[in-house]
Every structure is written in C-alpha cells, then in structure tokens.
Structure 1
Amino acid sequence: MIIIAGKLYVDAAARDAYLAGCSKVIEHARAARGCLDFALSADPIEPNRINVHERWETDEDLERFRGVGPDPEQTAQIRDAEVSKYRIAGVEAP
C-alpha cells in the first residue's frame, strides 16, 4: 500500500475556493482503479493550510492517476508544500 500525506499552503483568502476547485479531482481519484482513499481538507488551525491524504494499492495505480496531473491554475496557487510518499508493509486493526 502507498500513502501520500502532507500539507499544501495557499493564500488563506483563497483556500476555500481552491478546495472547491478540487472537487472534480477528488471524485476522479476516488473512482480511479487502486484508490483506497483520497482527501484534501482545510486545516482547522492554520487558515492557509490544506491537509493531503491519499491511499493507493500500488505504485502503478498512483502513477496512472498522476498522469492526469493538477490544473495549472491550481498548481500556481500553491505557495509551499510538504508531501511525502510512504510504503506500508502491513496494516493492523487498532
């Protein structure tokens, strides 16, 4: 399993509009083969932060989805980002 997690920073005044513009991307991702979860959410404390969480079955599934790429206008709005890819060897119940 692959997990993509981290944070994006956009202008605080533009965050809600940015997230609204991501709706189609989120729908597309969740419908993609191998996507187990995909979420972009407003951080409750930092007004310019967007939390990123994705879970994918395989690298191939992730790369197939990434081939679509973000809208250039959305990419231009990102001021900073800290997002990492994690490989998970196993999952246990809490």
Structure 2
Amino acid sequence: MDNDILKGIVTEGDLRKSIASTSDLSNSILDFINNNPISINPSISILDAMKVMEDRHSQISCLPVIDSDGKCLGLVTLHDLYQTKLV
C-alpha cells in the first residue's frame, strides 16, 4: 500500500498457480501480485460480500475493502463473514 492505497494483492491461489508453472521459487513476490484485485466498498451487505466471494468459478476467500477515495480500509475473509453468525 502507498498512502493507504492498495497496489495489489497476492492470494494463496496466485502462489499455487505460479509454483505449478515454475520451479524457480527465488522469484520476487512482486512477480505474483494481482494489481487489479476484486474488492468491495464498506457499505456492502454481509450477504452481498459473500456472493462476491462465492458466486464465481473460483471462490475468493479474502476481499479488500476500498472506500470511495481508493483507500484500503482492511480485508474481509470468508471466515470473518461466517463469524458474524448471520449467514
């Protein structure tokens, strides 16, 4: 992050794909960054956040929360959402 602006994210899936395609594990983590991750805004409902994570061909387990100024406020995980006991 630069001034709280998210520059990218690396997921477990990104790492698994990269490791499967190369045997060179000395690459920089920068080589694996997704510069345009799926994100949500802070006003989204819990149900809609879960839909964003689950209604895809490959499930997302973590979403950056980005405000209208592009500031990263934090991350929401599936575990966080299940912990609310509302779903």
Task: Please classify the TM superposition score into its range, dividing by the shorter chain length.
Answer: under 0.3
Higher strand fraction (1 or 2): 1
Structure showing greater Rg: 2
Structure with more relative contact order (C-alpha pairs < 8 Å, separation 6 or more): 1
